[in-house]
Copies of this chain bind each other. A is one copy, B any other.
Amino acid sequence: MKLSNMLITTLREVPAEAELPSHKLMLRSGMMRKMASGIYNYMPLGLKTLKKVEDIVRDEMNKAGAQEFLASALIPAELWQESGRWGVFGPEMFRLNDRNERQFCLGPTHEEVFTDIARAVIKSYKQLPLNLYQIQTKYRDERRPRFGVMRSKEFTMKDAYSFDKDYEGLDVTYNKMYKAYTNIFERCGVDCSAVEADSGAMGGSGSAEFMVKSEYGEDEVVFCDCCNYAANMEKAPSTPQKAEEEEIKGLEKVETPDAKTIEELIKFFNITPEKFAKTLIYKADDKVVAVMVRGDREVNETKVTNAVGGAVEFELADEKTVKEATSAEIGFAGPIGIKVDFLLVDEEVANMYNFIVGANETGYHYTNVNYGRDFEGTVGDFRNVTSEDKCPKCGESLTIARGIEVGHIFKLGTKYSESMNAVFSDEDGKKKPLIMGCYGIGINRTMASIIEQHHDENGIVWPLSVAPYHVIVIPAVSKNEEQMKAAEDIYNSLKELGVEVLLDDRKERAGVKFKDADLIGIPMRVTVGRMISEGKVEFKLRSSDEVEEMELSCVIDRVKEEFEKNSIKL
């Protein structure tokens, strides 16, 4: 493509709302434009890379034996009612009616649709295993769309749904997908970690998230400093902590009129937060759940939800519920005499001595509280891991970092096949529910993650595999006929080879051309300047500062070399 014919939409100024490097660079380089909050239009450069990511995903999915489908984005409400999720999905789901007042949604995900397809076409175990995927537009009405395409309302997702006859088969499929995902991200140049993730109340080790480390990430990830262990915060188990042993003292009720928060209590008692146990009250659907963790810890809501057998809605209880459970104003909740359906006590709290809790009476706390003597509950791991915890695999120290989820693989089991009656006839002639897995990759998010990991102060540094164009040929002075002719020759020869190449034939200064080439991140730059009179040109990789001077006749081989180095076929 000649740049003189191309619609160039690079921006000098980037909207203040863009914080993330990839968001800024996608706007500055003219890859996309904002249409509305969380809704973007892709310009030619952005679309080319988006399609390359799609093609890598498609190739690896096909190699892993998955078959490509394409479902509609409009999905009738009935399917979601069948699975029970119509009522579960909140305002994130875009809902609309057709002219006959039939209800639809714009699919935020497609488990129901593919379970529906499977139950219609799968009859026998002989057809299994099957892995069906699509690369398709998804819709989520995000409360806070942000970070450009990282969290947007309309986005492209590769979603796959696998069907096996038994759990052993699911394990095989799951592992194939794990490998395929590893290949995909490697080919895209994305350095990411497969992180153990929570798989809901059913437990098991059936879920992994592929996370890219980023200070802007919305998820917390726990990495071992030594082995390859990684887990997301929801899932990572805490290490049992034992407080220093003390002589057990007698329980005392203390008047604490103005001290309700941990900070106020620390001041009031002049003591460290490790001596407090806070009691938080949640609603899990219609059940009331009290959770106790040490004063300086965070409750892990996923662990709590799993401990009570799962919940569709889980949130901190409202004031009325708290008052009913504690018979007191907010700020005085404690385990002794509390009226709740579940009292969950973090293991660490059960191991503390002579600690302080709310007295379930306005203006009072208990001191010298001890588990077992003063109250009992369900003891378990209910808190978030901290850097004090240890790796559950090797016992070494942990680092907590933020991450962006680019992929997720998940063993669903029979959740959908049972609710939607998707069964097959097994070898023994019996009807059994299909054993399912689901596997997602955010295509736009992967593209943005590539930029997060491949940019410098001048712009994007595309890996060759996903670059919108491989090479940019720049005649330093477009008016110079010799330079222009040589540049066009290189351009045409590369094009003939199948290289995707740009020719910057604009009547701009060389400096402007270099700046733009750097911004849009084309991996290889061939500059035709004054030295062309001696038959020489300059070759430069975007990822390197080195300018290689070479004979005109060597350029093609130099370009081919890069393709070979990157294992990309021409």
Q: Are A113 and B47 in contact, with the CB atoms below 8 A?
A: no
**Beyond A33-B120, A41-B117, 9 extra complex contacts between A and B, CB < 8 Å:** A7-B127, A33-B117, A35-B75, A36-B76, A36-B102, A41-B72, A41-B113, A44-B68, A94-B98
Give the CA-CA distance A153 to B74 in the complex, in Å.
9
A96 to B5 alpha-carbon distance, docked (Å): 38
Q: Does A137 contact B (CB under 8 A)?
A: yes
Contact A44 B72 (CB under 8 A): no
Q: Which residues of B contact A47 (CB under 8 A)?
A: 68-70
20 contacts between A and B (CB under 8 A): A7-B67, A7-B130, A33-B117, A33-B120, A35-B74, A35-B76, A39-B72, A41-B70, A41-B72, A41-B117, A42-B70, A42-B71, A47-B68, A73-B73, A74-B139, A96-B96, A96-B106, A98-B141, A98-B153, A99-B141
Q: Mark A121-145, 1 if CB is under 8 A from B, else 0.
A: 1000001001010000101010100
Contact in complex: A71, B141 (CB < 8 Å): no
Within 8 A of B (CB), among A41-94: 41-44, 47, 50, 65, 67-76, 91, 94
Say whether A9 faces chain B, with CB atoms less than 8 Å apart: yes
A74: contacting residue among B36, B50, B121, CB under 8 A: B36
What residues of chain B lie closer than 8 Å to A75, measured between beta carbons?
A: 35
Contacts of A9 in B (CB 8 A): 121
Most buried by B among A40, A50, A106, A120: A106
Query: At the interface, yes or no: A339 with Cβ under 8 Å from chain B?
Result: no
Query: Which chain A residues numbered 100 to 118 have a C-beta less than 8 Å away from chain B?
Result: 102, 104, 106, 113, 116-117
How far apart are A433's CB and chain B's nearest CB, in angstroms?
18
Describe A's contact surface by its main secondary structure: mixed
A37 shortest CB reach to chain B, Å: 8
**Which residue of chain B is the closest to A132 with respect to CB atoms?**
B7
- When distances are taken between beta carbons in the complex, the residues of chain B under 8 Å from A6 are 67
Set of chain B residues within 8 Å of A72, measured between Cβ atoms: 35, 39-41, 154
Q: Determine if B73 and A137 form an interchain contact, defined as CB atoms under 8 angstroms apart.
A: yes
Q: How many residues of chain A get a CB closer than 8 Å to chain B's CBs? A: 49
A95, CB-defined interface residue at 8 Å: yes
Scan A499-538; emit 1 where CB is below 8 A from any B CB, else 0.
0000000000000000000000000000000000000000
| Cα-based distance from A137 to B71 in the complex (angstroms) | 12
Query: Known interface pairs A35-B75, A39-B72, A72-B154. Does A65 touch B137 (Cβ–Cβ under 8 Å)?
Result: no
Chain B residue contacts of A7, Cβ below 8 A: 67, 121, 127, 130, 132
> Chain B residues near A137 (CB, 8 Å)?
73, 137
Docked complex Cα distance between A56 and B427 (Å): 45
* Complex contact B74–A39 (CB within 8 A): yes
Whole-angstrom CA separation of A154 from B136 in the bound complex: 13
The residue of chain B having its C-beta at the shortest distance from the C-beta of A65 within the complex is: B5
Contact among B99, B120, B154 for A91, CB-based, below 8 A: B99
Minimum CB–CB distance for A443 against chain B, Å? 12
Distance in angstroms between the alpha carbons of A251 and B72 in the assembled complex: 64
Residues of B within 8 A of A35 (CB): 71-72, 74-76, 113, 116
**Bound: A33/B117 CA distance, A:** 8
Quick check: A95 and B96 within 8 Å, CB to CB? yes
What separation, in Å, do the CA atoms of A43 and B143 have in the docked complex?
Answer: 34
Query: What chain B residues lie within 8 Å of A70 (beta carbons)?
Result: 41-42, 47, 50
Interface string of A383-394 (1 = CB under 8 A from B): 000000000000
Residue of B whose beta carbon sits closest to that of A129:
B5
Min C-beta distance of A130 to chain B, whole Å: 6
The 5 closest A-B pairs by CB, nearest first: A42-B70, A96-B96, A91-B99, A41-B71, A36-B76
Bound Cα distance A117, B32 (Å): 11
Residues of B within 8 A of A120 (CB): 33
CA of A120 to CA of B33 in the docked complex: distance in angstroms? Answer: 10
With A76-B36, A139-B74 as contacts: A43 and B65 at CB distance below 8 Å: no
A562 to B50 CA separation, bound complex (whole angstroms): 34
B43 and A154 contact, CB distance less than 8 A: no
Inter-chain contacts of A113 with B (CB < 8 A): 35, 41
A127 (CB) vs chain B CBs: closest residue: B7
A67:B44 contact, CB within 8 angstroms? yes
